[in-house]
């Protein structure tokens, strides 16, 4: 059995494929970061905005870490009728407590009650601390339905200068650099092709000039030969008979 000849590894082709894959990965990452940034800035921690009735909030403390979610998670709350809320539900609300007034809080309902004016209110607590706080029904944003683990930490990092540089600026700079290198290569290839065409045209012109000179030399030689033959014929004609 004859040994099969192994084909040499085409490292150039492997590098081109690898480079193409890397470029597309950078493009996909940069686009995803742009989309995530736009969505997060416009939707996260925005009490008045929702997607199909769902709202998203970044958890900034571990007051519920013992049971449900921790700092750095994204909690998902759904807009609901506050009259359907009951003990044990977890709700997101705007705090009226002096310690964190105006902040958005997500805690578990310990008791459904009423305020001094007879309006529905909720006694809530963080499962980690166990401390009670009060939430008025009018300030309830939604009912907790799920979480996105650690995504909030990434969102907060993305809002920082290092996060912007690493996740957005650097990928786009790499894309610009890659396209710049490709543009330079294409320009060099174009100039080389032009030079090759010019050299080919020059060689063709030189060849045509040499051919013309050769033909001119042949014509001159032929003319010389004809002149010699004509002169010889005239000499024979001018010579008298019998001499």
SS3 readout for 11-71: HHHHHHHHHHHHHHHHHHHHHHHHHHHHHHHHHECCCCCCECCEEEEECCCCCCCCCCCCC
Instruction: Tell which wins on pLDDT, 101 or 239.
Output: 101
**For residue range 182-233, what is the model confidence (pLDDT) as tens digits?**
888 888 888 888 888 888 888 888 888 888 888 888 888 888 888 787 777 7
**For residue range 132-142, what is the model confidence (pLDDT) as tens digits?**
988 888 899 99
* DSSP per-residue string spanning 184-205: HHHHHHHHHHHHHHHHHHHHHH
- The predicted pLDDT at position 80 comes to 92
**What does the alpha-carbon distance between residue 72 and residue 16 come to, in Å, rounded to a whole number?**
40
In terms of Cα–Cα distance, which of 143, 166, 142, 163 is closest to 153? 163
Lowest mean pLDDT segment, chosen from 41-50, 146-155, 172-181: 41-50
- The average pLDDT across 137-151 equals 92
Instruction: Tell which wins on pLDDT, 75 or 51.
Output: 75
**What does the alpha-carbon distance between residue 91 and residue 109 come to, in Å, rounded to a whole number?**
7
The residues pairing with 124 across neighbouring beta strands, listed in sequence order, are 109, 133
In terms of Cα–Cα distance, which of 128, 134, 144 is closest to 110? 134
- The average pLDDT across 39-55 equals 77
- The average pLDDT across 1-21 equals 70
- The predicted pLDDT at position 5 comes to 59
Dihedral of alpha carbons 233, 236, 239, 240, sign: negative
Classify 89 as helix, strand or coil.
coil
**What does the alpha-carbon distance between residue 58 and residue 156 come to, in Å, rounded to a whole number?**
8
How many residues are given for the chain?
Answer: 243
- The average pLDDT across 154-181 equals 83
Architecture of domain 44-158: Ribbon (2.10)
- The average pLDDT across 28-44 equals 76
Q: Is the pLDDT of residue 238 over 70?
A: no
**Using an 8 Å Cβ cutoff, are 30 and 171 in contact?**
yes
- The average pLDDT across 47-63 equals 86
Classify 93 as helix, strand or coil.
strand
Read off the DSSP letter of residue 84: G
- The average pLDDT across 122-147 equals 91
- The predicted pLDDT at position 239 comes to 59
Classify 88 as helix, strand or coil.
coil
SS3 readout for 102-163: CCEEEEEEEEEEECCCCCEEEEEECCCCCCEEEEEHHHEEEEEEEEECCHHHHHHHHCCHHH
**Using an 8 Å Cβ cutoff, are 114 and 120 in contact?**
yes
């Amino acid at each position: 059995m004859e040994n099969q000849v192994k084909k040499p590894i085409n490292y150039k082709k492997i590098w081109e494929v690898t480079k193409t894959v890397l470029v597309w990965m950078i493009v996909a990452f940069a686009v995803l970061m742009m989309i995530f940034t736009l969505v997060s800035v416009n939707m996260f921690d925005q009490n008045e905005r929702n997607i199909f009735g769902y709202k998203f909030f970044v958890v900034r403390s571990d007051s519920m870490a013992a049971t449900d979610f921790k700092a750095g998670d994204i909690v998902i709350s759904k807009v609901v009728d506050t009259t359907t809320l009951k003990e044990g539900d977890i709700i997101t609300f705007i705090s009226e407590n002096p310690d964190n007034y105006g902040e958005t809080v997500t805690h578990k309902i310990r008791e459904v009650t009423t305020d001094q004016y007879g309006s529905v209110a909720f006694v809530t607590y963080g499962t980690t601390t166990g401390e009670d706080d009060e939430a008025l029904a009018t300030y309830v944003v939604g009912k907790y339905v799920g979480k996105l683990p650690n995504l909030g930490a990434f969102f907060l990092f993305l809002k920082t200068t290092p996060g912007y540089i690493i996740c957005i600026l650097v990928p786009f700079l790499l894309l610009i650099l890659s396209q710049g290198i490709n543009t330079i290569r294409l320009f060099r290839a174009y100039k080389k092709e032009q030079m090759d065409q010019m050299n080919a045209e020059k060689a063709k012109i030189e060849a045509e000039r040499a051919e013309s000179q050769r033909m001119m030399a042949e014509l001159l030689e032929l003319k010389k030969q004809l002149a010699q033959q004509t002169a010889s014929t005239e000499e024979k004609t001018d010579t008298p008979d019998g001499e």
